[in-house]
Amino acid sequence: MKLDYNNMLAERIGKEGIPLTALGYLAPQVERATQAMKDKRPQMAWRELPYNQAVIVKDILEYAAEMKPQIDAFVVLGIGGSALGPLAVQQALNHPFYNELPREKRGDNPKLYVVDNVDPERLVHLFETIDPTRALFNVISKSGSTSETMSQFMIIQALLEEKLGKERARKHIVCTTDPESGNLITIAKQEGYKTFYVPSAVGGRFSELTPVGLLPAAFCGIDIEGLLEGAAQMDAMCGEDDITQNPAHMFAVLHYIGMLHGKNITVLMPYADSLKLVADWFAQLWAESLGKKFDLDGKVVNVGQTPISALGATDQHSQLQLYAEGPYDKIVVMMGVDEYRKTITIPKSYGDMPSLGFLGGVTHNKLLQTMQAATEYALTKAGRMNMTITIPKVTPQTVGQLLYFFEVATAYAGELLNINAFDQPGVEEGKNATYALFGRPGYDAKKAELDAAPVKEEQYII
Ligand code: PA5
């Protein structure tokens, strides 16, 4: 993987860019953040995932081999960090129309469905699409208490038990959760469900390389050992103290400088359909980790940067106008590949029409790469901060590298901002309000607070 940050620099894009001297001024913060990453590594349990899961991987592969012949569909019930990672890896490494393929073309693997939201139409339509008695439902919840996931679980458990009886239903549910705390582990033990664990010290959005992501990937035939191998390779690349040799730290430092200068938005724009959901996964990681009210000293800082997931060339026809000519508040990170896994050539059909003739004989591979280069040129000419991440090809190893790269970059950005990148207190308020509105025991004070909130005025509703 390569990170090219030429076009972040004032030397290339002019006054909106980062002067090289800025990297020098920031040396004390950078040194502090680098030291903090080393000191806190023992608490960042996600950093050891590439190395300490041999037994877990074996268990996952054996379980997948045993269950695959018994099912046609593998259904993930999870949300946030428990859904975005499985989706990203599946899209990156499997056929784009995987579920539509006949089973033999899927490597004899089941179809994959990820049901994250609690939109009733989604679940009802799923039941119209799959035979639940030929499906394995993977309930993924680190906390074991997320209402969305647990409510889906309760619906599916009841449905399976009605159709199959309690004993046979048990085989159709597998849980992935914290080994010690939460409702899900209690239920899993009570019911005797097969269970995989998310280490207690690994938070939801940093959990893709635990069984949260590895189990669905293994059921879909993805080389999970390759993913972990790639993550280990990236860990080695991120071990350098010198940020000019450390892509993840450099990515974070450049974004940090951007934030200090009003770049409140970062756009991750892969030029490969297969990486679009990696951009979605990154968006959650960056937003939930860095958007914080308080710093580590308890001071109100209200920091963060809004991540946007885009797709080249699609969003050239949707968003790019804004990126090139709108406010100077964005960093655009393009993500490209040296080699696509397939090649397709445009026929030389209309040689006599100059506006189409130039396409004849060109591959889509070349066309998309050229569009990426042209977008980079246009953004640079317009004085817009942009950088490029390039991987040689989308493989389990490079996807593992990307995931680990973004995780380290996020943690490092958290250190530069002096915030806790691993909690999400801002999400709790909404969760608590939901509990209170449903009259959950223990939430009476919150209910009273909600009841006392000013009533909306009709005159402002049209
Ligand atoms: O990163 C996080 O912690 C969150 O986005 C969680 O992944 C999300 O809220 C789902 O939580 P859980 O896995 O506990 O159900």
Phi and psi of 448, rounded to 5°?
A: -65, -40
**What is the pLDDT averaged over residues 255-268?**
97
pLDDT of residue 457: 94
Is residue 343 pLDDT above 90, yes or no?
yes
Distance from residue 150's CA to the centre of ligand 1 (Å): 12
pLDDT of residue 78: 98
For residue 273, count CB atoms less than 10 angstroms from its CB and return exposed for 0-12, middle for 13-18, buried for 19 or more.
middle
Distance from residue 200's CA to the centre of ligand 1 (Å): 13
Q: Which residues line ligand 1 (CB under 6 A)?
A: 79-82, 141-143, 146, 149, 203-205, 288, 424
Distance from residue 141's CA to the centre of ligand 1 (Å): 7
Atom number, ligand 1, closest to the C-alpha of residue 143: 14
168 pLDDT tier (thresholds 50, 70, 90)? very high
**What is the pLDDT averaged over residues 33-54?**
97
* 405-418 pLDDT tens trace: 999 999 999 999 99
Q: Which of 163, 166, 393, 431 is catalytic?
A: 431
Is residue 338 pLDDT above 90, yes or no?
yes
Q: How far apart are CA 373 and CA 367, in angstroms?
A: 10
pLDDT of residue 44: 97
pLDDT of residue 232: 98
pLDDT of residue 428: 84
Atom number, ligand 1, closest to the C-alpha of residue 182: 14
Tokens 């909690």 belong to: 423
* Torsion, CA 55, CA 60, CA 62, CA 66, rounded to 10: 160
**What is the pLDDT averaged over residues 452-456?**
93
Distance from residue 432's CA to the centre of ligand 1 (Å): 15
Inter-residue contact 111 to 149 (CB < 8 Å): no
* 64-78 pLDDT tens trace: 999 999 999 999 999
Is residue 134 pLDDT above 90, yes or no?
yes
**What is the pLDDT averaged over residues 133-156?**
96
pLDDT of residue 50: 98
Inter-residue contact 412 to 249 (CB < 8 Å): yes
* 285-297 pLDDT tens trace: 999 999 999 999 9
If you average pLDDT over every residue of the chain, what do you get? 97
Atom number, ligand 1, closest to the C-alpha of residue 178: 14
Distance from residue 286's CA to the centre of ligand 1 (Å): 14
Is residue 139 pLDDT above 90, yes or no?
yes
Distance from residue 460's CA to the centre of ligand 1 (Å): 35
- Our answer to whether residue 293 is catalytic in this structure is no
The two most distant CA atoms of the chain are separated, in Å, by 75
- Our answer to whether residue 167 is catalytic in this structure is no
Q: Which of 208, 288, 376, 415 is catalytic?
A: 288
> Mutation test of ligand 1: which of 138, 142, 184 has the most ligand atoms closer than 8 Å to its C-beta?
142
pLDDT of residue 429: 86
* 375-398 pLDDT tens trace: 999 999 999 999 999 999 999 999
Nearest CA among 303, 275, 309 for reference residue 290: 303
Task: State percent of the chain over pLDDT 90.
Answer: 97
Q: Which of 299, 317, 342, 456 is catalytic?
A: 317
* 247-259 pLDDT tens trace: 999 999 999 999 9
Is residue 431 pLDDT above 90, yes or no?
no
pLDDT of residue 23: 86
pLDDT of residue 222: 98
**What is the pLDDT averaged over residues 422-430?**
90
224-237 vs 247-260: helix axis angle to the nearest 10? 70
Q: How far apart are CA 355 and CA 216, in angstroms?
A: 46
> Mutation test of ligand 1: which of 114, 146, 428 has the most ligand atoms closer than 8 Å to its C-beta?
146
Q: Whose CA is nearest to atom 15 of ligand 1?
A: 141
- Our answer to whether residue 317 is catalytic in this structure is yes
Is residue 302 pLDDT above 90, yes or no?
yes
Q: How far apart are CA 238 and CA 246, in angstroms?
A: 5
* 93-132 pLDDT tens trace: 999 999 999 999 999 999 999 999 999 999 999 999 999 9
240 pLDDT tier (thresholds 50, 70, 90)? very high
